[in-house]
Amino acid sequence: MRADDVSPAMTSGHAAPAATSPYARPTTGPQPVVPSGTQPEQIRADLLYEFELELRHTAKALARSKHAPAPILVAVPVPNPKPGVPDVSWRATELRGWMIGPRLCVLEDGTWVPHTIGRTHKLDKPRHQRLFGDANSKEYAQRWQDLTDAGVTPGGAYIYIDQENEPMLGVGRHPRRAELFEVQQISGSPHLVMLYDRGSMGVKVSDVREDLQKRLKDYA
């Protein structure tokens, strides 16, 4: 999936996707299967509507729980980093949310963002002695400081998205967002899935509602 195909003008709605998708999906791995005689776009739209309705309820429930929403950062690559300097810098956003899948998070307003990664910030800053510390310890210490400066609480969770996928931060309100999903037959019924191309590691198939239920057990 290509983030640069997402228009910056994000609007709400449940409009059916156009016939030609602007997104480049993985070409390997399981292919979508839908019941015969049924329009696949309609099935996908219906499944997405149900999933998004569930996400809005989930966001409200998590907001009332003991699990604080994690800040969402953009990981910006550092060109030609020197030894001891992290290869990424962090840019804060005004968004916060919770991970609900391997690469999917729900925001406080109930919308979702794909291609995200959840991490936990170390509680204590790694020790680095200016005279005797090696480049690795210096880099770890600087990375900890950079995350803290970006607003991540030590010991707390944070979510980041690579800069190349930054346009996806608003895709949860895009009228053609359904095109990021596929429909597959699982145990005799259609399921909404999202495919992640992991290069040499193959394609990750995420059954979004099943992954959501698994994550909710962690938040219980």
pLDDT in tens, 201-220: 888 889 999 999 999 998 88
Mean pLDDT over the full length of the chain: 83
pLDDT value, residue 135: 65
- pLDDT tens across 37-65, in order? 457 889 999 999 999 999 999 999 999 99
- Token digits for 69? 């929403």
Nearest residue to 204 (alpha-carbon basis) of 21, 30, 40: 30
- Taking alpha carbons only, the member of 162, 70, 147 closest to residue 114 is 162
Average pLDDT over residues 130-139: 66
pLDDT at 118 over 90: yes
Q: Which of 96, 6, 56, 75 is nearest to 212 (CA)?
A: 56
pTM recorded for the entire structure? 0.79
DSSP per-residue string spanning 69-138: PEEEEEEEEPSSPPTTS-SEEEEEEEEEEEEEETTEEEETTS-EEESEEEEE--SSPPP--TTT--HHHH
3-state helix, strand, coil in the chain (%, to 5): 35, 25, 40
* Secondary structure class of 61 (helix, strand, coil): helix
Report the distance separating Cα 90 and Cα 73, nearest Å.
6
Q: How far apart are CA 130 and CA 116, in angstroms?
A: 34
